[in-house]
Amino acid sequence: MGQRHLGSVLTLVAVALAGNPIPLSISSPSNASEPIRESFVSFSIEFSSFPDFAGNSSTPNNFSYNLLTNLGAIQGSNPIIRVGGNTQDYATYDANQEEALVGTVNVNRSRDYPTTISIGPSYFDSYNTWPGFQYLHGFNLGKNGSAGYDTLVGTVPLVCKVLTSDKLAFFTLGNEPDLFKTSAQGPVRPAGWDESDYVAEYLNKTRTMRQIVERDCPAVIEQGKFRFYSPSFAGTSNSLNIIKTFSSGLDTDQEIAFIDSHNYIGGATQPGVTLQHTLMNHTSTVLSVNKHLNETTLLRDTGLPYLLGETNSLYKLTKPSDSQGAPALSNSFGAALWGVDFNLYCAATGIARVHMHQGTNYRYASWQPMSTPNETIGTKAPYYGNIAVASFLGDLTSGNTSVANIDLDSIYNAAYAAYVNDRLERIALIQMQAYNYTESRSNDERPSEAFSFTLPSDYGVKEVSVQRLMANGSNAITGITYDGVSYNYELDEGLPVPQDNATTGEILKVSEEGVVEVEVPWSSAAVLQLKWD
């Protein structure tokens, strides 16, 4: 999590409409990140939902593919897809089962996903539907006894054969084992199970996996691809401690590629959770991510990058009636703005990659991959936040891109600067003051925030282009665009379609004094691209 010194680049002054100018010197941003890794915008897909999102060889899900390749075209490499989540630790394997997945939903345990799951050989055909993508397959660690062992040894050959070297990113073993003793779905380890017990079990099973891969897919070993996202813990304050797992020898075999932790801002039904207080709140985001930065500091000696292998807005709490995300919160435009702030703060602070979690019927999902009795197929508001993040970061394969947080000392405003090969190229502004358009009067003017930037006159920037992330308000769930473009399913199955009624091609002039001003409406975001002479 080292910092980079980028030299004298720019001085910024942010001006709020109702406040005094705030000088922000970034002429030598010691807080800038290391270069951002490729595929920073990535996804995690719930194990039981993966066949819905991907389809199979005969009926591939082209809608999902279009949305994912849109992001790949912008950031220079496709998102990496982690297949896992709670249901990976419920799944057992039946070699004679014709169906890809047979799941039973027990409403007394969870109404969002099946908690009794059997997969057959055809499940793995879903890995054949999206050319040009890399995957992490999540293996079941939660199931003990012969069923768990038989599932592991039965599925490892299928996974390594279908995920040939060009498709395989890495593996994961177990989802959030730090909750195995306390899971609301039922404890699967005894109360005394500690970090040493977990590490012993993890090493025993990964060594078994290695033997199978050496036998059936030796190329995976030869190419150095037998590696893991680990330990996939749920958070920073549960019954197992990530620091202790490493001190107990988790990486004894040196097969961990990334330290993997998970993060959610809060519980969907926690008291006091609101769009403004919980999501559209820069301070809330900073506090949530900073918990992980404490871990990265203590884990620095491992030399391993630290990422979020599963994250999103509001997680499911303990009651069976609770849900993955909250209606009118997790699926709103306000959640899209939260996603931009969250991802860019992660990038600025050195989180190596962010996998946004998805699931069929999940309220926080970026898209619904198919129509069900509960949800209609379509692009959701958070997807537009994914597009904005990718656009701000740009093509990560074409140069070294670093990100710096511009501290505005504000709950409702956030700003970031992107440098490509040590030169400032883009500025992101996120305005998170909630604007509920359904409660405003028709003659009310939407408030906005004004920002003024002073650029050194000798840097040759005369114009700045603006790309806006816009909707009618923070509570909107439709009618969203980024740079005047819609990615809605009903227009062209998720491919970009410019909208005649949306502003695009906006150019701001830089004054002779090097000043450029921009207004950002409440509940919107803007990406400023410097046009160098």
Taking each helix axis as running N to C, give the angle between helix 381-393 and helix 333-348, from 0 to 180 degrees, rounded to the nearest 10: 30
Residues 282 and 419 in one domain: no
Torsion of CA 484, 485, 488, 489, to 10 degrees: 150
Residues 350 and 446 in one domain: no
Selecting among 46, 176, 255, 310, the annotated active-site residue is: 310
Residues 126 and 246 in one domain: yes
* Within a domain: 444: yes
Residues 465 and 494 in one domain: yes
Work out the angle at residue 325's Cα, subtended by the Cα atoms of residues 366 and 364, and round it to the nearest 5 degrees: 5
Could you tell me the pTM of the whole model? 0.94
To the query of whether residue 99 is one of the catalytic residues in this protein, the response is: no
Taking each helix axis as running N to C, give the angle between helix 381-393 and helix 62-75, from 0 to 180 degrees, rounded to the nearest 10: 30
Work out the angle at residue 506's Cα, subtended by the Cα atoms of residues 502 and 510, and round it to the nearest 5 degrees: 160
* Within a domain: 10: no
The residue among 366, 400, 434 that closes a domain is 400
Residues of the chain with pLDDT under 70: 1-29, 184, 236-237, 316-323, 441-443, 456-459
Selecting among 176, 195, 425, 449, the annotated active-site residue is: 195
Quote the number of domains for the chain.
Answer: 2
Residues 374 and 426 in one domain: no
* Within a domain: 14: no
The residue among 345, 374, 400 that closes a domain is 400
* Within a domain: 221: yes
Token pair in block for residue 415: 């700003």
Residues 236 and 355 in one domain: yes
How far is Cα 260 from Cα 173, in angstroms, rounded to an integer? Answer: 11
* Strands ordered across the beta sheet of 91-93: 91-93, 116-119, 101-104
Query: Which amino acid type is present at position 176?
Result: E
* Within a domain: 395: yes
Task: Collapse the DSSP code of 155 into the 3-class scheme (helix H, G, I; strand E, B; otherwise coil) and give the result.
Answer: helix
Question: Looking at the DSSP assignment, which residues form a beta bridge with residue 45?
Answer: 83, 358
Could you tell me if 152 and 172 are in contact, meaning their C-beta atoms sit under 8 angstroms apart?
Answer: no
Residues 409 and 486 in one domain: yes
Residues 382 and 445 in one domain: no
How far is Cα 439 from Cα 441, in angstroms, rounded to an integer? Answer: 7
How far is Cα 397 from Cα 521, in angstroms, rounded to an integer? Answer: 32
* Within a domain: 460: yes
pLDDT recorded at residue 515 = 78
Segments forming the whole domain that contains residue 357? 41-400
pLDDT recorded at residue 461 = 78
pLDDT recorded at residue 441 = 65
The stretches of 299-380 forming alpha helices (DSSP H) are: 333-348
Residues 422 and 390 in one domain: no
* Within a domain: 2: no
Find all residues with CB under 8 Å of 500, minimum gap 6, and list them.
none
- Helical (H) or strand (E) element with 293: helix 282-298
To the query of whether residue 195 is one of the catalytic residues in this protein, the response is: yes
How far is Cα 146 from Cα 143, in angstroms, rounded to an integer? Answer: 9
Could you check whether the bond before residue 131 is cis, i.e. omega within 30 degrees of 0?
A: no
Could you tell me if 308 and 262 are in contact, meaning their C-beta atoms sit under 8 angstroms apart?
Answer: yes
CATH code of the domain containing 524:
2.60.40.1180
- Helical (H) or strand (E) element with 430: strand 423-431
Dihedral sign from CA coordinates of 172, 359, 389, 63: positive
How far is Cα 370 from Cα 458, in angstroms, rounded to an integer? Answer: 53
The residue among 383, 400, 417 that closes a domain is 400
Residues 248 and 204 in one domain: yes
Residues 187 and 55 in one domain: yes
Task: Collapse the DSSP code of 156 into the 3-class scheme (helix H, G, I; strand E, B; otherwise coil) and give the result.
Answer: helix
How high does pLDDT run on average in the chain?
A: 90
Residues 461 and 483 in one domain: yes
* Pairing of the two strands 461-470 and 481-482: antiparallel
